[in-house]
Amino acid sequence: MYTDKTLKCKDCGADFVFTAGEQEFYAEKGFVNEPQRCKACRDAKRSAGRGARTFFEATCAGCGGVAKVPFEPKGDRPVYCSECFAKQRDE
């Protein structure tokens, strides 16, 4: 059915394998084009568009410790540190 193919990355020029399993996955999803970048270049391209995340410090409503969160707390809702947030979610 499908056999492994060796393709050349259009960004770095390295050879990479487009496996039979990946080809089957592409076919199931209806993708018609083969990948043009190796995994390392795909990952780099994907993460390049994000930019650096800014974290804000707040006081945890559960334990009173410092909570670093990726949003600016407005003060109208409680903010939890990672541990207290996990406890809240489990309850």
User: For residue 69, what are the β-bridge partners?
Assistant: 56
The domain limits of the chain are 5-48, 56-90
| pLDDT tens track, the chain, 91 positions | 899 999 999 999 999 999 999 999 999 999 999 999 999 999 888 887 777 778 999 999 999 999 999 899 998 999 999 999 998 888 7
Report strand pairing: 15-18 vs 56-59.
Answer: unpaired
Extended beta strands in 1-91, E state: 5-8, 15-18, 56-59, 66-69
pLDDT at 78: 92
To the question of pTM greater than 0.75 for the whole model, the response is no
